[in-house]
Structure 1
Amino acid sequence: MTRRLVMWDIDYTLLRGGGVAARAWRSAFTEVTGVDWRATPNFGGRTDLDICAEVFTSHGVTDCTPERFFARYVQIIHEIKHEFAEQGELMPGVREVLGRLGDHPGVVQTLVTGNVPEVAAVKVAAFGLAGSFDAEVGGYGTDDSVRATLVRRSLERARTKYGEPFRPVVVGDTVNDVTAALANGAVAVGVATGATAAADLIAAGAHTVLPDLADADAAIRAITA
């Protein structure tokens, strides 16, 4: 039986970060570029590379690279990592669903997130979730600016590491998560726990849309169907 590779988005799917990462992003940007922060982009469902390009353009920055910016951003995140647990929270049902899927022999869980990998690791570790995921086979915001490519990279990494094909399943809260899943032939499970309405996730083509993960049985059925 082909196992499922369950690719979890982080922000507003697994947890809320309480604005900690956004504050670190603004601080790092000003420190590295010397330019005052003027406009906050829409972060939802986007990759950090994509957001970085927009922020540099909107602020007229031409003499900085994403790599330089991300290096300082990651440093700040590590300095304030305790704030995620203090100011953020897990979304309903997450711990139970991850635990039950972790015991499922036909499932490998990983992260496909717009976050850079170091920040993704800090966020999930803040809530004691790091052991739930094979982070080595994830897709991250430094892989590409296009979300669909992150899903493809994760699937390639899993196939290489485990030496077997997988049935990909993407779980996320934005239209970008859904369209990235569909572009790779993955099952798209939407959760309406972020800013995107359930109706919009359905319209984007999600195979299943849940209000949240509080009904663990329903979530596991959707993910393993």
Structure 2
Amino acid sequence: MRRLVMWDIDYTLLRGGGVAAAAWKAAFTEVTGVAWRDTPIFGGRTDRDICAEVFEVHGVTDCTPERFFARYVEVVQTVRHQFAEQGELMPGVRAVLTRLSGDPGVVQTLVTGNVPEVAAAKVAAFGLEGSFDAEVGGYGTDDSVRATLVRRSLDRARAKYGEPFQPVVIGDTVYDVIAALANDAVAIGVATGATSADDLAAAGAHVVLPDLSDADAAVRALTAYSERA
């Protein structure tokens, strides 16, 4: 059975340098006419979930997520060059993606809280877009609950390729781990974000890596680990 490796983006593959957060705030004020007052915790959450909190905190009742996301995407497209200028790839990412791209037993995709267009802009800024079958990914517009994103991605991959997959989720937050476990996926934690290795392990990650700089260890975890091991 081939593996469907589902990559989180922010602080797993790359650091965006705050570009998306700035675009989010600008789009929110443009669309709603309400001044930005309170920034939620973004890490590991879906854009749909974050949008609901932002609307509630700011007392917005006359706007839909779809209307907001449309403007948010437009703003991101105008500043997409800043991802590479202000952000950076996380250690070892390019080498690991290249190794896995050459493995016929692996299909790589994105499972991220970002809306699809912003996810695409982020990975393209660093020349990573060729590594993923983004068509079978799971995105922040699919649902507010991250576990549903994993399930949607797995369903899309099965439908497209006509075969079952062993799902593998790799991310830097407890949300990624929980989403993996809810779908009987192998959960790989990478401690390159704000969540410690200990917290990722406590959440139930099958493997926790400090980062991806040891390409051999990362590839082994992503391709060889069995949750029944």
Could you say whether these structures have the same fold, taking a TM-score greater than 0.5 normalized by the shorter chain as the test?
Answer: yes
CA distance in 2 between partners of 1:80 and 1:9 (Å): 21
SS at match of 2:189: strand
Q: How does 1:156-195 map to 2 (within 5 A)?
A: 156-195=155-194
Q: Tell me, yes or no, if structure 1 residue 142 matches structure 2 residue 141.
A: yes
Structure 1 segments unaligned to the other structure (5+ residues): none
Percent identity over the alignment? 82
Q: TM-score, normalised by structure 1?
A: 0.99
Q: Structure 1, residues 168-204: CA drift from partner, whole Å, max 9, x if none?
A: 0000000000000000000000000000000000000
Q: How does 1:204-223 map to 2 (within 5 A)?
A: 204-223=203-222
Aligned to 1:114: 113
Aligned to 2:39: 40
Q: Tell me, yes or no, if structure 1 residue 5 matches structure 2 residue 17.
A: no
CA distance in 2 between partners of 1:157 and 1:214 (Å): 30
CA RMSD, 1 decimal = 0.2
- The size of the alignment, in residue pairs, is 224
CA distance in 1 between partners of 2:17 and 2:140 (Å): 20
1:42 Cα deviation after fit: 0.2
Q: Structure 1, residues 151-180: CA drift from partner, whole Å, max 9, x if none?
A: 000000000000000000000000000000
Aligned to 2:227: none
Aligned to 2:98: 99
Q: Structure 1, residues 67-98: CA drift from partner, whole Å, max 9, x if none?
A: 00000000000000000000000000000000
Moved over 2 A (4+): none
1:22 Cα deviation after fit: 0.1
AA partner of residue 39 (structure 1): D
SS at match of 1:171: strand
CA distance in 1 between partners of 2:5 and 2:42 (Å): 23
Aligned to 2:78: 79
SS at match of 2:48: helix
1:211 Cα deviation after fit: 0.2
1:216 Cα deviation after fit: 0.2
